[in-house]
Chains A and B, each alone.
Chain A
Amino acid sequence: MDSATELEQIETLAKEAETLKLRLDDERQKLNDVTLASVADRLESINCMNVKPRRILKGHQAKVLCSDWSPDKRHIVSSSQDGKMIIWDAFTTNKEHAVTMPTTWVMACAYAPSGTLVACGGLDNKVTVYPLSLEDDVSARKKTVGTHTSYMSCCAFPNSDQQILTGSGDSTCALWDVESGQLLQNFHGHSGDVMSLDLAPSETGNTFVSGSCDKMVLIWDMRSGQCVQSFQGHRSDVNSVRFHPSGDAVATGSDDATCRLFDLRADKEVAVYAKESIIFGANAVDLSISGRLLFAGYNDYTVNAWDTLKCQRVALLYGHENRVSCLRISPDGTALSTGSWDATLRVWA
């Protein structure tokens, strides 16, 4: 078809999209019978949060950009601006491996479910896996699995060591076969850099969520590669997305200094976690096992703990001396790890 008709089509489609959005808003509004606050009023508030720093992991020479917990609940992998990836025994604060990547700004790293493999990537646009073993030099067995056309911002293993899911600055997500490096599925739909993704907690779940600089939060079907749900609401880049442990909601953190909770079944935003005194963007969010507490790391060096049901801030954690870039609850929920541009990681409990 020629370009004129194509432009025409684009225009009609754009119009249709607008009207559809309006109708959708109406639909959603119909079921908006109560507010979270009215329900949560009856809940007991969480008193005396006693989360304190318990470990400080020092060893990176530059900004820590990403971290992930090992399934053994005590090891952490972290990556930093200077291209180093470090495997920590966070419990003893010992470094077990230090790998130098052929790139700077390693913006993503992840532990495989077996705990014997880590993946990372960054400005090199690649996702590289490193089998962990005590005998060999870890970097000797590295393997490049996939390549994006822009930086890789996030990655995760979907319940298996054999596949890896990545998000990239090229605004796509991709599912790769680790062994062959084959692209199993591509996920198109975002119109901005994908900043974060998270897998649905369900064992059978075949969905994941992604957040992007286009301010959208999308839910994907991993099998078909289709976007199955979308959430709007943030006014700036969505930096972090995490599934609620029930699998029925996603929590997000954004540059607009808010965190939000979107319910998948109600198909809309349930809560906004914001405060006038919070000026800076949230880089990372995670939820506690019960989903009641939402921890968020901000650019103002702090971590805020939110009561997700009462929408109140219940704790403000100081400690880092630069922006908090990553934050994760340990798999058993006993601890919270944070990484920061001050080159340290901290474990809170």
Chain B
Amino acid sequence: MEAAAAHQQKEKDPYVHRPCAFDKMEGLVREMQDPENGVPVRSQKQFLTSIPSAFMGECRRYLRRGVSVTGQQSQDTTGCLRVAGYDLVEWLMERLAIEESVEAVHIANQLCQYGYFFPVNDSKTLTVKDDSSLYRFQTPYYWPWQHRTPDNVEYAIYLAKRTRRNKQRHALEDYEIEALNSLRRNLQNKWDLIQQQAEEQVRLSKERKKGDKIVSDSQERAFWRVYRPPPGCLSSLEVVPVPTRGRPGAPRPPPRKRTLADLQREVELLRNSLTRTRIKMSTAIENLKNHFETYTEYDPMIVQPQPSNPWITDDQIFWQLNSPLVEVPTEKRVKRWALSMEEVMSDPTGLLEFTNYLRKEYSHENIRFWMAVKDLRRSFQAQIPVKVNEIYEEFLAAGAPCEINIDGKTMEKVQQEMKNPTRFTFDAAAEHVYTLLLKKDCYPRFIRSEHYRQLLAAGVQPLQKKRFFGFGGQAKKKASSTSVPTSGSLQQHQQQQTSGGGAAGTGRRRGSDRSLSGSAHELAICGIRDIATAPRVPHSHSQSNLTDIPYRGDLACLVKIPARPNPDDFQDAGVSGSAAVVRPTDDVCPWDAAPGPVPGPSSERPGDPGGGSSASVGTAAGGGEALTEARGASRKNSSQFDSGSSSSDVSVAVAEAAERLRRSCTLQQQQQQQQQQVAGCPRGSRGASVTFADTSRASVSSSNEYFSPQRSFDLSHSAAAPQLEETTDTPIGVVDTSEGSISPRGGVPAMAPVISISSIVGEILAEETQGAVNIDCKDIREENSTVEDDVVVEDDREDREDREEGNESRNNAATPHVRIEIDGEELAEDAQVVPVWEPDTQTQESTRAIPTPMEQQDNNDNEVCPWEDEENCRVDATYVKTYSTLGYL
């Protein structure tokens, strides 16, 4: 300490970088020690202390009233304030108008880490607890940033001193011993001096009063704990090692001298500023306010984005919908283009649409010119002359292919600039084009145009998902928007991603359709919108909503699908209102409606999944596809549909998606969450939606609802269930059990729907076998994720046992995709699914082509074309199979 004191005088550097925080902290700590208004001192005894050593003098005034406390250690009676943790916290709260004690504790901890006070009874850590533990103020001499940073010699003296004192109270910590040893090595030439100093200090300390000694010892120790923290502890005093921000004592460059040039620049700037036109404060504030009001809905920190914030839900739909280049932008995004021309220009899709519009009007040379100039401004230096010439030749030269229309004055300017081409040569012309032509003419026309209106009308409207887990988003249920579709939509998105790069419209759509199939609602919605848009929209419909929408959607999809194999068609169908048509059939009882084409029993069988579909099939001549689709729908809504439309493609896409999923576990999680959310959705709604479903089935259906794909299943189940019941009670029972399991798990991945079907079949088998069920479930999940769902289902149909095995194998293969931990859910799904599938159908299915990936080829073969098979065999047949499986069960 003495050594440090000796250095003290040297440190007065007039130009010391000193963060403001230290002034504030010191002010605060001084106030804390104020006898009148400071932190109350918890003392049992009070001593008037005379503070012995010189350096202690600084703190004398704070210790005027010489309080010391000592409760537990009688020897610890000294002239140093001790305060309790809760008093500190309370004082801080009052002094700084802090509302929550957490913040006050946090500040107290900061002060403690900077060494302004320290715990009396804990020499290891520097933390403040909001309790009765006691803290002692550090003497200002030891406050940080008061002097230059202590050096190793001082540290060595301090350590050496402690080795010479009472071993019990002054023994060194392990890290200190290490430090001492290394210091001894490094400071060999000074070691004698260090030893002398240490000895001297020990001698001096012996002359002090005991109380003072204890206080100063603990303060010194606390000081070194701040400057030489034990390993693993933070040093709050570390600074960026740049000259101007260094610690006190570090060599620093003299402050920069202001040169004549500096001053001239400053005066110039000030003069210019004086003549600057300013707006009133009120106008400026109004501008800021207006900006906020305009952009509130685009600020995810204030208004939750639709459908959800990816970081919160792990659901990347939002990003997929808003990727830089999309075929169909969201409605919100299109609306944003109307806010200002800058919004259009800064959005790649907006720019594209704007350009397309102008091209239609044969006036896109302006925007092209502007883009070229913008590009020029930021080009590599070496390319500048070439690019300047190119632009001139294309847009400005007389008779240029895309001559732009600028006034003579601007043209003159350009000609002038062309003599010495730079990246700014065309700035004047570009400015002219931008403000006069684009901004005041083209842009307003664009916003008023039919083109823009169509974009707006076609805009995707992602629906919000229900949040069951309090993610903090807005969790309002919209009738049309709910969680159920989420899984499906997720799949879609994934598929889209996998399939496509930027704007693979159809592929994505298909994928989406598949996924959509999981959520019929989505399809319906899509239908409402333009076809193109539909695929992209990840609709999350509340299950309750689903009752209304989904059914229709499913039906519509199914029906239309048969008629139109393309997913787009599905959408269209949904739009056209085929959905409505379908509905009735569904309500009627799919099987009943189906009856014509389908044999009674068979019709029933298909009825579950295809119940609607079968009916639709009946209506639609193209039964095959419709059937397949219907199946898909029933089984796993979207996936199957997709497969129906393009099963092979779908499968591939699924596989890709699965890979993606693997890559990002988060996706899986998201799906699970979504599924869970879905599960959370009112099941009853679905059941309600399914008119045909028996009450018993209704329950099942409700359980099914958890999984979006399952929904379809449910529907199918419900439809099938009655049949099954007729045929066999067992299937129903199975369904119920499955349902029960499902309901709790609810969270089957979005992918699961498709998968779940196959898995379900397998699972059912497994359940029968019991042991294998879990595996199956996993497999199923995987399969689902991979798009193998369809295949799986088929496989299941083929050989239940085989399927089980196959599923397992598949699962293994598929597992990489995403290993969802919700076996139970899957199982439940499977169970549900099972009733749907009948053994006969399975065999038939097996016959179908296999779109699935290699691993699942076998399964795929069967699966492959559930729809195809169906088509071939007639949907009824497949359905029949399913029913038969149900009978099995």
Interface: A88 (CB within 8 A): no
The reply to whether A20 and B274 contact each other, CB–CB distance below 8 Å, is: yes
CB-CB under 8 A from B19, the residues of chain A are: 236, 255, 280-281, 299
Q: Tell me, yes or no, whether A322 is within 8 Å of chain B by CB.
A: yes
Q: Is the CB of A24 within 8 A of B273?
A: yes
Selected from A6, A92, A223, A230, the residue in CB contact (under 8 A) with B269 is A230
CA distance A27 to B310 in the complex (A): 48
Q: Known contacts A91-B666, A257-B24, A293-B301: does B378 contact A33 (CB below 8 Å)?
A: no
Inter-chain contact A193/B244, CB cutoff 8 Å:
yes
Contacts of A27 in B (CB 8 A): 274, 278
B300-A334 in contact (CB<8A): yes
* Pair A169/B244 contact, Cβ less than 8 Å: yes
Q: Closest approach, in angstroms, between the C-beta of B523 and any C-beta of chain A?
A: 28
Chain B positions within 8 Å of A180 at CB level: 380-382
Do B281 and A268 touch across chains, with their CB atoms under 8 A apart? yes
Q: Which of chain B's residues have a CB closer than 8 A to the CB of A39?
A: 282, 285-286, 289
Q: Say which residue of B20, B25, B272, B382 sits within 8 Å of A236 (CB atoms).
A: B20
CA distance A46 to B301 in the complex (A): 10
A211 to B769, CA, bound (A): 71
Once A159-B378, A213-B244, A288-B302 are accepted as A-B contacts, the answer to whether A265 and B274 lie under 8 Å apart by CB is: no
Interface of A is mostly: loop
Choice from B98, B261, B265, B319 contacting A73 with Cβ under 8 Å: B319
Asked if A111 is an interface residue, CB under 8 A from chain B, the answer is no
Q: How far is the CA of A52 from the CA of B299 in the complex (A)?
A: 16
Quick check: which of B47-55, B103-111, B786-794 contacts chain A, the rest being far away?
A: B103-111
The 8 Å CB contact of B311, one of A55, A193, A300, A301, is A55
Q: How far is the CB of B336 from chain A (nearest CB, A)?
A: 11
- Which residues from A are CB-within-8-Å of B106? 300-302, 318
**Which one of A160, A266, A289 lies within 8 Å of B280 (CB-CB)?**
A266
The interface bits of chain A over 33-54 (1 if a CB of B lies within 8 angstroms of the residue's CB, else 0) are 1111001100100100111101
Q: How far is the CB of B69 from chain A (nearest CB, A)?
A: 27
Establish whether residues B110 and A202, one from each chain, have CB atoms under 8 Å apart when the complex forms.
no
- Could you say which residues of chain A place their CB within 8 Å of the CB of B28? 279
Once bound together, how far apart are the Cα atoms of A298 and B360, in whole Å?
53
Interface string of B299-321 (1 = CB under 8 A from A): 11110010001111000101100
A252–B261 Cα distance when bound, in Å, is 27
B291 contacts partner chain A, Cβ-Cβ < 8 Å: yes
Kindly report which residue of chain B lies nearest to residue A11, judged by CB atoms: B263
Q: B299 contacts A333, CB within 8 Å?
A: yes
Contact B665 A92 (CB under 8 A): yes
Question: How far, in whole Å, are A12 and B302 apart by their CA atoms in the complex?
Answer: 52
Chain B residue contacts of A223, Cβ below 8 A: 424, 427
CB B530 to nearest CB in A, in angstroms, measures: 25
Which interface residue of B261, B262, B264 has the most chain A CB atoms within 10 A? Answer: B262
List of B residues within 8 angstroms of A341 by Cβ: 238
Q: Does A243 contact B (CB under 8 A)?
A: no
Question: What residues of A have a CB within 8 angstroms of the CB of B263 in the complex?
Answer: 9-10, 13-14, 17
Q: Are A24 and B380 in contact (CB under 8 A)?
A: no
A83 CA to B400 CA, complexed, in Å: 53
Residue B193 lies at the interface, judged by CB distance under 8 Å to chain A:
no
* Interface flag for A292 (CB, 8 Å): yes
Indicate whether B240 reaches chain A with its CB closer than 8 angstroms. yes
Q: How many positions in chain A have a CB within 8 Å of any CB in the partner chain?
A: 115
Q: Which residues of A contact B279 (CB under 8 A)?
A: 31, 265-266
Residues of B within 8 A of A236 (CB): 19-20
Which residue of B256, B286, B299 is within 8 Å of A290 (Cβ)? B299
Cβ contact within 8 Å between A291 and B287: no
B240 touches A105 (CB 8 A): yes
Chain A residues with CB under 8 Å of B107's CB are: 277, 279, 300
Query: Within 8 Å of chain B (Cβ to Cβ): is A137?
Result: no
- Which residues of the other chain, B, contact A69 by a CB distance below 8 angstroms? none
Residues of B within 8 A of A335 (CB): 300, 309, 311
CB distance from A10 to the nearest CB of B (A): 6
Question: Is A334's CB under 8 angstroms from B305's CB?
Answer: yes
A141 at the interface (CB under 8 A from B): no
Contact assessment for B319 and A291 in the assembled complex, using a CB-CB cutoff below 8 Å: no
| A:156-180 near B, CB below 8 Å | 158-160, 162-163, 169, 171, 177-180
Contact B267 A33 (CB under 8 A): no
B499-531: which have CB < 8 Å to A?
A: none
Contact between chains at A316 and B271 (CB < 8 Å): no
- Cβ contacts B225-262/A at 8 Å (1 or 0 each): 00000000010001011111100000000001011111
Give the Cβ gap from A314 to chain B, nearest Cβ, in Å: 10
Q: Are B288 and A263 in contact (CB under 8 A)?
A: yes
Q: Is B205 an interface residue (CB 8 A)?
A: no
A116 adjacent to chain B (CB < 8 Å): no
Q: Is B266 an interface residue (CB 8 A)?
A: yes
Residues of A with C-beta under 8 A to B171? none
Q: Which of A16, A159, A267 contacts B276 (CB 8 A)?
A: A267
Q: Is A74 an interface residue (CB 8 A)?
A: yes
On whether the beta carbons of B298 and A289 are closer than 8 Å, the reply is: yes
Render A190-205 as a binary contact track against B, CB cut-off 8 A, 1 for contact: 0111000000001110
- Of A13, A299, A336, chain B has the most CB atoms within 10 Å of the CB of A13
- Is A266 a contact of B281 with CB atoms below 8 Å? yes
In the complex, whether A189 has a CB less than 8 A from a CB of chain B is yes
Known contacts A192-B244, A248-B288, A277-B96; A288/B260 CB under 8 A: no
Q: How far is the CA of A163 from the CA of B21 in the complex (A)?
A: 37
Name the A residues within 8 Å of B15 (CB-CB). none
B97 sits at the interface (CB 8 A): yes
Instruction: State in angstroms the CA–CA spacing of A56 and B263 once bound together.
Output: 48
Q: Which residues of chain A come closer than 8 Å to B269, judged between CB atoms?
A: 189, 227-230
A265-B284 contact, Cβ under 8 Å, with A91-B310, A203-B374, A349-B311? yes
Give the distance to chain A from B241, nearest Cβ to Cβ, in Å: 6
Question: Given A32-B281, A33-B282, A39-B285, is A20 in contact with B267 using a C-beta cutoff of 8 Å?
Answer: yes
Residues of B contacting A246 in the complex (Cβ-Cβ under 8 angstroms): 287-288, 291
Across-interface contacts of A13 in B (CB, < 8 A): 260, 263-264, 266-267
- Asked if B295 is at the interface (CB within 8 A of a chain A CB), the reply is yes
**A58 contacts chain B at the CB level, 8 A cutoff:** no
Does B399 sit within 8 A of A, measured CB to CB?
A: no
Q: Are B292 and A349 in contact (CB under 8 A)?
A: no
Which residues 439-457 of B have a CB within 8 angstroms of A? none
Bound-state CA distance A258–B678 (Å) is 45
Identify A54's interface contact among B271, B278, B280, B311, CB under 8 A: B311
Whether B298 pairs with A333 at a CB distance below 8 angstroms is yes
**A265-B279, A266-B279, A334-B300 known; A189 and B265 CB under 8 Å?**
yes
Q: Are A24 and B278 in contact (CB under 8 A)?
A: no
Residues on B with C-beta less than 8 A from A237 are: 245
Residues of B within 8 A of A230 (CB): 269, 273
Contact B302 A292 (CB under 8 A): yes
Q: How far is the CB of A294 from chain B (nearest CB, A)?
A: 11
Tell whether A182 is near chain B: CB-to-CB under 8 Å.
yes
- Bound form: Cα–Cα A290–B274 in Å: 31
CB A289 to nearest CB in B, in angstroms, measures 4
The 8 A CB mask of A126-159 against B (1 = contact, 0 = none) is 0000000000000000000000001100000011
B279, chain A: closest CB distance, angstroms: 5
Contact across chains for B258 and A191 when beta carbons are under 8 A apart: yes
Contacts of A349 in B (CB 8 A): 300, 309, 311-312
- CB-CB contacts of B602-630 with A at 8 A, as 1s and 0s? 00000000000000000000000000000
- In the complex, whether B44 has a CB less than 8 A from a CB of chain A is no
Task: Name A302-316 residues within 8 Å CB distance of B.
Answer: 302, 308-309, 316
Whole-angstrom CA separation of A63 from B81 in the bound complex: 36
Q: Taking CB as reference atom, which chain A residue is nearest B275? A: A27
Q: In this assembly, does B14 line the interface, its C-beta being within 8 Å of a C-beta of chain A?
A: no
5 pairs, CB–CB < 8 Å, chain A vs chain B: A13-B264, A16-B267, A203-B345, A293-B301, A349-B312
Q: A191-B262, A265-B284 are in contact. List 4 more A-B contacts (CB 8 A).
A: A180-B381, A266-B280, A277-B104, A349-B300
Q: Across the A-B interface, give the 9 residue pairs with the lowest CB-CB distance, nearest first.
A: A160-B378, A349-B311, A50-B472, A266-B284, A290-B299, A20-B270, A277-B96, A13-B263, A290-B295
